[in-house]
Structure 1
Amino acid sequence: MSMSYYEEETQVKAYDSKLMKRLMSYAKKYWAFFAAAILLLVAVTVIDLLKPYFIKIAIDDYLNGYQKPMITYEASSGVEGVEFEGRIYKRVESVPEEIPEDRVFFIDYVDNIPYLVNGIVEPEMMGSATVAEISEESRQYQLHYGDSIILEARRLDRNEVKIFRSKDLNAMKTIGIIFILAIIAGFLFNFLQTYILNYVGQTIIFNIRQEIFSHIQKMPIAFFDKNPVGRLVTRVTNDTETLNDMYTNVLVSLLKDFCILVGVIIIMFSMNMVLALIIIGAIPVVVLVTVFFRKNARKAYRRIRVALARINTVLSENISGMRVIQIFDRQKEKLEEFKKTNKEYYKATMGEVVVSGVFRPLIELISSATIAALLWFGGIRVLDGTLQFGVLFAFVDYVGQFFHPINDMAEKYNILQAAMASSERIFGILDTPGEPDEGSIEMDKDRIKGDIEFKNVWFAYNDDEWVLKDVSFKVPAGKTLAIVGATGAGKTSIINLLNRFYEIRKGQILMDGIDIRQIKKKSLRENVGMVLQDVFLFSGTVMENIRLSEDRISDEEVKKASAYVNADGFIQGLPNGYDEEVKERGATFSAGQRQLLAFARALAFDPSILILDEATANIDTETELLIQDALAKLTRNRTTIVIAHRLSTIQHADNIIVLHKGRIREMGNHQELLAKRGMYYNLYKLQYEGNRA
């Protein structure tokens, strides 16, 4: 986690096999769901591929089927076909050489009038005959195809045409029903496949989010000193959602795109090799365009990620610091700064728009050019009768299905690249070691006395920049120790070490005579309660904020603790009492009310050792007496360490330590320290004179 945020955003591989293998480990346990989704996907793909083929069959075999030749048989022959005027007419694809021409018939339309024609003509000549009447009464005619072909024909009425086309009508009904059923089945299969994939994807992301949050909770406090909250929130939300897109839109969909491409190619070659080669000829051009897009899209994508990170940072800082901006009237200057960052993001986004805006229309252009080539080449052959119209129609449809996966794959590439970037950042957190704990001793809250001793403690946050230097003191069980000193003297560091948020460099900290490094951190912290100056309230109710999801604390105990520290009065005055919803960080409560809630929380957990870190600072006058009374009750018969600037609140402490630049300069009770006329005396005098003024 040593690289900077922006470096992290720009050093992302487009594809990393190790990362992908690790991502697949989360999906491994759901292989049965993925297998079901793949089967459904194959079914959907087959249905999609068969739709144009159904239409081709309907056009060539049935709509235009009347153009195919028919061979006549005796009615008693038992041959299956259409019975007309005592003979059986059987439709065939081609006429065998041994069949005489007088047994061959076909239906032709001349000026929209149907004729049953005896003989054979080339397909391109059909519909072009001129009619010569032989007998109006018997409806016998001659059809002249050019100058050399004259065939006998019989004009058909509407009912007679229906006889010849009865099987066509039945077949069209069957194809229509099959087509509708295929559409319904495709819809159901597609819905099930989408639902299964999203169910699995959301379940995997749920598990990953749980793992990240659980791991973050195990991180040492130093980790949060170096990693902004916004970045960690992004990892748990935005980055995991990007992975969801990969699990639901890439893994299986890529297989579908591949199946469609292969299926389209196979079907096209099986129908007409020449037309298939025309479409295949477009592939090299598509490959070149895709390679160009991939390289430029990757650069554009990274520029957007960097610019987005910067704009989020600027927005977060400026919104959080809006009070300062307005106080110093820096709106115009900050707007200019934001304008600059916003412009960078705008340019990066427009760069990506240009790349995508060129790629997609270019693929569409290639697709349209391929269709134009098909229509030109295939249309000529339809007109000269060497190609069936249904085949050409199917090819035009398959062109769209051929180019759609190519477009889709480019989109999947973007998703895959985003997933690689997000997974790298997520695993960067998961691979960061959690807070170490070498302790093995469990401290029983009911039996702990609360004796605390610091023995020659040295501590530094960074290398040898010592914050505490050879600090030694004792706090007997049930007594109160106060620590005073200037900002940066090391007061809060003592509290951090006592909770093992950081580990000491030299010396020992003992609790009931046991080195706290031998005590399990969870057990240690269960025995230590803290009330901070900046009280943190969570979203939820007042009751939930005091209990903090501890089931062992009943509602009655919460109310009893609140009443004991004087918080019950204002809580009961809320519209919903203990069920009142707490706004963001308790924004609707005064500083004093938040402090009283913190006291109630500490008392409800009933710790053996209580730490008050500037807990009495910034208290409004109206609730100061309530706070003082609550403090007196809260510290009674409990080992207490108080960090305070207001010396008036610690005059009754059993012992007071004056810290200066990491060392203990003075120690004693209030009267003893005043008598020494040292640092404590000077601090007290300054505050006393300030209050009197």
Structure 2
Amino acid sequence: MNGTGSVGRRLFRYMLLFKGRVIAALIVLVLGMAAQLAGPLIAKQIIDVHILAVEKPWYELKPESVPADVRSVPFGGLAYVRSDWAKPDELPGAAEAELTQSGTAFTLKSPAVGEVVLGAEDVAAFYRHDVQPVMLLVGLIVLLALAASALNFTQSYMLQSAAQRIVQRIRMDVFRHIHRLPVRFFDNTPVGQVVSRIANDTENIKELYMSFMATFVVSGLNIVGVFGALLFLDWRMALLSLGLLPIYAGIIVLHLKYSRKYVAVIRARLAEMNATLNETIGVMTMIQAFRREQALVGEFEAINEDRYRNQIAQFRIFSFSGRNAVYFCGRIFIAVIIWYFGSESLASAISFGVFYAFVDYMGRIFEPIIGIFDQLMNAQRAVVSAERVFALMEEEGMEAEPDSSVARRPEGHVVFDGVTFGYKPGEPVLRSVSFEARRGETVALVGHTGSGKSSIMNLLLGFYEPEAGTIRIDGRDIGGLSKQSLRRHMGIVLQDPFLFTGDIRFNVSLHDTGMTDGQVRRALREVGAADFVDRLPGGLHEPVVERGGTLSAGQRQLISFARALAYDPAVLILDEATSSIDSETESVIRHALDVLRSGRTTFIIAHRLSTIKEADLILVLHKGEIVERGTHDELMARQGRYYRMYQLQSAG
């Protein structure tokens, strides 16, 4: 990985896949933000133009002298016109008057009436022409608030649905990629860690998109909008307010710097916990049989305790640099603003409406800043998770290959020519292995554990590449073949058969929608599994729980055998396939094999030598080398390693 920058670019590229939704949501966001920011400006209009306008200069004159198109207020037999309603030269014979407010009392001073304290009805009369505009503006504020709520809901829904779609795409890309990874990767990586990256880490990435688009973008635009409104109100206070941004930026930088290492450890410990859980649950019978419960509990507790300590350290940093820091700096700043602009110079420096709107806008800055801080922890977890997911996606995998449905079925002529292979460099498990299996032949591989039998089959299936030598099928080096094409015409039955959650039919057909019930039944019948399947309540559609726990070992093996045969393979591989089957079931399979071997090349890995007497070729392996080869009778006559192995089993 190239660091956070690379992660950011890849996350941005995924976002571009749904740019239409994101752009539409951002447009709605801007409209909603405009509706929200318009509120204080309208409030300023109400205060300065209508509520405080009563203290503007008034003109006193006779009612008949007031022009017909000029508003006026009758009081004491005279008419009073506010200076914003008409100019002095439009009012012949008018005298200046003054209306002042002290607390809740209003006083009128004029040449005609002198100084008079107005009653409530008189004050209402002087506001008579402002009531309707104020009500309209208040109604506009309510409408804008409703519109802002609707727009905010719409943009939030659109952004979050886009985030869900983006993460859905990432999760599917990761899932597809793990199918392209070589088997060697899974040999060295705990299953729980892979599961954690696909399930937990992708879910955290979703939080990143939701935090970024629904919080960081929204908050960022809100902050820009608020400062734009502040500049419109008063550039001096706006410039002074800009001093908050570097302070908050510094707090964010410090927060990210000191908490990132704890987040990385937390995610790593979570993956270790998942790996431990996966391994523990999978071998619970062994753990209980050997009384290792307390040891594993202690191991899990150590991982959990380390995660807890790092989580507490991160929370400590967040508590210091998050909401508390924002409120502390913001309140200090507002106090300075009130002290500086709220003194005696307030009346001459700025209007009260501007001051009110300014304080309102400053309060609106804190909310998005706090929103950013509240989401920083989620964002950090998500970035670390994204690094882990993209690291998995950067693991070198096999190139995607076209559909191999048109690939020609091979004859099944298999040749190993001087093949050397090791799972670790410098530690070969196969040394210059050479043999040939012609079409329709049965080749058996025998030898002690670790002699290399399964490694030969892993190479034949293309799970690993040989270090030296070649493997050819029908004269073609399988290294140049599509792995899908190679395996399409191969069937395999493992010693420990794996059944998927579903039903019997699914476990035989494995997502092949073109396979009919008749083909499935025929495969089951040929391996001798039809009888017990028909006795099940659901027949072919009998539910199969995880790993086929409700079936016996022999029944699971028969179903996996039918699975291999249903695809009519050219090469059939039986890896200890009869080890979990009783003698009666084994005889059924052997009878089916006699019919099915015609036209197929069959490889059998077996410790029970009685099952391979009729093999066309038996290869005896020892420490990665073929030390004997021949038919059963030939090897018995030679009285070598195979003879001794057979005698030991017969004596047993």
- Note whether the superposition's TM-score is higher than 0.5: yes
User: Partner of 1:134 in structure 2?
Assistant: none
Helix, strand or coil at the partner of 2:131: helix
Q: Do residues 561 (structure 1) and 523 (structure 2) align?
A: yes
Q: Do residues 33 (structure 1) and 30 (structure 2) align?
A: no
User: Partner of 1:151 in structure 2?
Assistant: 115
Q: TM-score, normalised by structure 2?
A: 0.87
User: Partner of 2:315 in structure 1?
Assistant: 353
User: In the alignment, is the contact (CA less than 8 A) between 1:245 and 1:415 conserved in 2?
Assistant: yes
User: In the alignment, is the contact (CA less than 8 A) between 1:599 and 1:630 conserved in 2?
Assistant: no
CA distance in structure 1 between the aligned counterparts of 2:413 and 2:232, rounded to whole angstroms: 89
CA distance in structure 2 between the aligned counterparts of 1:287 and 1:515, rounded to whole angstroms: 61
User: In the alignment, is the contact (CA less than 8 A) between 2:192 and 2:271 conserved in 1?
Assistant: no
CA distance in structure 2 between the aligned counterparts of 1:306 and 1:42, rounded to whole angstroms: 39
User: In the alignment, is the contact (CA less than 8 A) between 1:565 and 1:633 conserved in 2?
Assistant: no
Q: Where do 1:13-28 residues align within 5 Å?
A: 13=3, 15-16=4-5, 18-28=6-16
Deviations 1:118-165 (A, max 9, x none): 449xxxxxxxxxxxxxxxxxxx9x8xxxxxxx61456464xx655543
Helix, strand or coil at the partner of 1:640: strand
Mean CA deviation greater in 510-519 or 187-196? 510-519
| Cα distance, 1:286–1:520 mapped onto 2, change above 3 Å | closer
Which of 523, 533, 536 lines up with 1:574 in the alignment? Answer: 536
Instruction: For 1:501, give the aligned amino acid.
Output: F
CA distance in structure 1 between the aligned counterparts of 2:327 and 2:400, rounded to whole angstroms: 60
CA distance in structure 2 between the aligned counterparts of 1:557 and 1:620, rounded to whole angstroms: 26
User: Partner of 1:79 in structure 2?
Assistant: 69
Q: Do residues 595 (structure 1) and 561 (structure 2) align?
A: no
Helix, strand or coil at the partner of 1:510: strand
CA distance in structure 1 between the aligned counterparts of 2:120 and 2:437, rounded to whole angstroms: 117
User: In the alignment, is the contact (CA less than 8 A) between 1:442 and 1:519 conserved in 2?
Assistant: no
User: Partner of 2:388 in structure 1?
Assistant: 425
Mean CA deviation greater in 485-494 or 24-33? 24-33
Instruction: For 1:339, give the aligned amino acid.
Output: E
| Cα distance, 1:442–1:178 mapped onto 2, change above 3 Å | closer
| Cα distance, 1:555–1:88 mapped onto 2, change above 3 Å | farther
User: Partner of 1:123 in structure 2?
Assistant: none
CA distance in structure 2 between the aligned counterparts of 1:511 and 1:423, rounded to whole angstroms: 42
Deviations 1:65-111 (A, max 9, x none): 5455544564550334245368664444699898888443537688x
User: What is the Cα-based RMSD across aligned positions, in Å?
Assistant: 3.7
Which of 485, 499, 511 lines up with 1:537 in the alignment? Answer: 499
Which of 54, 60, 65 lines up with 2:42 in the alignment? Answer: 54
User: Partner of 1:398 in structure 2?
Assistant: 361
| Cα distance, 1:641–1:83 mapped onto 2, change above 3 Å | same
User: Partner of 2:135 in structure 1?
Assistant: 173
Deviations 1:284-318 (A, max 9, x none): 54444334323222233234234434444444444
1:357, distance to aligned residue in structure 2 (A): 0.8
Mean CA deviation greater in 412-421 or 450-459? 412-421
1:345, distance to aligned residue in structure 2 (A): 1.2
Instruction: For 1:656, give the aligned amino acid.
Output: I
User: Partner of 1:117 in structure 2?
Assistant: 108
CA distance in structure 2 between the aligned counterparts of 1:595 and 1:337, rounded to whole angstroms: 35
Mean CA deviation greater in 635-644 or 86-95? 86-95
Helix, strand or coil at the partner of 2:396: coil
User: Partner of 1:528 in structure 2?
Assistant: 490
User: In the alignment, is the contact (CA less than 8 A) between 2:557 and 2:580 conserved in 1?
Assistant: no
CA distance in structure 2 between the aligned counterparts of 1:577 and 1:436, rounded to whole angstroms: 40
Helix, strand or coil at the partner of 2:470: strand
Instruction: For 2:471, give the aligned amino acid.
Output: I
User: Partner of 2:176 in structure 1?
Assistant: 214
Helix, strand or coil at the partner of 2:181: coil
CA distance in structure 2 between the aligned counterparts of 1:611 and 1:454, rounded to whole angstroms: 15
User: In the alignment, is the contact (CA less than 8 A) between 2:500 and 2:546 conserved in 1?
Assistant: yes
User: Partner of 1:125 in structure 2?
Assistant: none
Deviations 1:348-381 (A, max 9, x none): 0110111111112122222233344455556655
User: In the alignment, is the contact (CA less than 8 A) between 2:495 and 2:576 conserved in 1?
Assistant: yes
User: In the alignment, is the contact (CA less than 8 A) between 2:548 and 2:556 conserved in 1?
Assistant: yes
Instruction: For 1:482, give the aligned amino acid.
Output: A
Helix, strand or coil at the partner of 1:245: helix
| Cα distance, 1:625–1:177 mapped onto 2, change above 3 Å | farther
Helix, strand or coil at the partner of 1:77: coil
The answer for unaligned runs of 5 or more in structure 1 is: 1-7, 121-139, 143-149
| Cα distance, 1:375–1:103 mapped onto 2, change above 3 Å | same
User: In the alignment, is the contact (CA less than 8 A) between 1:531 and 1:612 conserved in 2?
Assistant: yes
Helix, strand or coil at the partner of 2:429: strand
1:610, distance to aligned residue in structure 2 (A): 0.7
CA distance in structure 1 between the aligned counterparts of 2:366 and 2:120, rounded to whole angstroms: 46
Deviations 1:308-353 (A, max 9, x none): 3444444444444433332232333333333322221111011011
Q: Do residues 550 (structure 1) and 541 (structure 2) align?
A: no
Mean CA deviation greater in 591-600 or 538-547? 538-547
User: In the alignment, is the contact (CA less than 8 A) between 1:34 and 1:197 conserved in 2?
Assistant: yes
CA distance in structure 1 between the aligned counterparts of 2:361 and 2:544, rounded to whole angstroms: 59
Instruction: For 2:505, give the aligned amino acid.
Output: M
Instruction: For 2:108, give the aligned amino acid.
Output: V
CA distance in structure 2 between the aligned counterparts of 1:154 and 1:669, rounded to whole angstroms: 124
Q: TM-score, normalised by structure 1?
A: 0.82
Which of 424, 440, 459 lines up with 1:462 in the alignment? Answer: 424
Helix, strand or coil at the partner of 1:507: strand
Instruction: For 2:464, give the aligned amino acid.
Output: Y
User: Partner of 2:447 in structure 1?
Assistant: 485
Helix, strand or coil at the partner of 1:557: helix
User: Partner of 1:362 in structure 2?
Assistant: 325
Mean CA deviation greater in 498-507 or 314-323? 314-323
1:453, distance to aligned residue in structure 2 (A): 2.7
The size of the alignment, in residue pairs, is 646
Helix, strand or coil at the partner of 1:466: coil
Instruction: For 2:115, give the aligned amino acid.
Output: L
Deviations 1:482-507 (A, max 9, x none): 11111111111111122222223333
CA distance in structure 2 between the aligned counterparts of 1:325 and 1:96, rounded to whole angstroms: 97
Deviations 1:517-566 (A, max 9, x none): 34433222111111111212223332222111123212221122223322
Helix, strand or coil at the partner of 2:18: helix
Q: Do residues 670 (structure 1) and 632 (structure 2) align?
A: yes
Instruction: For 1:346, give the aligned amino acid.
Output: Y
Deviations 1:198-228 (A, max 9, x none): 3333333333333333232222222222333
CA distance in structure 2 between the aligned counterparts of 1:50 and 1:442, rounded to whole angstroms: 63
| Cα distance, 1:24–1:386 mapped onto 2, change above 3 Å | closer
Helix, strand or coil at the partner of 1:461: coil
Q: Where do 1:641-656 residues align within 5 Å?
A: 641-656=603-618
| Cα distance, 1:402–1:585 mapped onto 2, change above 3 Å | same
The answer for unaligned runs of 5 or more in structure 2 is: none
CA distance in structure 2 between the aligned counterparts of 1:278 and 1:154, rounded to whole angstroms: 41
